[in-house]
Amino acid sequence: MNFDVSHPDVRRAVEIALAEDIGAGDLTTNTCIPGAMRARAEFVAKQGLTLAGVELLELLFGDVSLASSSGNRIEAGGKIAEVRGAARELLTRERVALNFLQRLSGIATLAVKFVSAVEGTGVRILDTRKTTPGLRVLEKMASAAGGVVNHRMGLYDAVLIKNNHIRLAGGVREAIGRTRSLNLPIEIETRTHAEIEEALDCGAARLLLDNMTPEQAANEIEFIGRRAETEISGGVTLENIRAYAEARPDFISSGAITHSAPAVDINCGIYAL
């Protein structure tokens, strides 16, 4: 799975990261490293991980040799990429490169764990909009690299009626009725059996079963049958996701994949040529 480095949000994120870190110039590097010096940088995994975002190196450096691509499993000690160029540029952009690689590979690595936890059940794992502001496209690419299915990218590309919509609209029936004009599949969050019955009666395409126990979810999914797709969300962790998957929903979504993924350990060694 390759990252789309041509995406404008990806390019913008890289530009902002460089401007944030470099500012008016790298004082240390520009003072102590000769301008004519050339060097090579080796990016190496210090732990087992699922790689994501390595293609961004091509936006940061000129001469890049990728040893692997996003979505690949890398063992500890495995080479990820080698970069050659002006020593000053390698030093100045090293931290930005590592920040992206470590963060995005951390998401992909955690995503793989969620996907593996439900193996054999047929359940598909979804990410959410709980992403770092400004980095959504990158973080969703990273979760996809780990085998997760991307949920909606934002508020503009799908209908998802949440509990606050229901409250302010005056109820399930009212909220669904007002969104029919969009002519899009309607997903609605449901927290009680009564809401599920009403949503089904109104023809919702997908029911999001929110903050239910695995046992409650299993009972409701059996009641729903195949009248609508089902998605479980709320309180899902690596420890309990298998129990939720055994309730046989179509999807399970987890914000933890993006908001709680720990960065992985990647090293960048820079050597004179």
Catalytically active residues are 95, 130, 162, 189, 210
E-strand stretches of the chain? 38-45, 49-50, 63-66, 73-74, 79-86, 124-126, 159-161, 186-190, 206-210, 229-233, 251-253, 266-272
Helix (H) or strand (E) holding 150: none
**Proportion of the chain in helix, strand, coil states, percent, rounded to 5:** 40, 20, 35
Residues in the chain, overall count: 273
> How crowded is the C-beta side of 40, counted as CA atoms within 13 Å?
7
The token duo for 165 is 């919509």
In whole angstroms, what is the distance from residue 224 CA to residue 69 CA?
A: 41
Burial class (CB in 10 A: 0-12, 13-18, 19+), 119: exposed
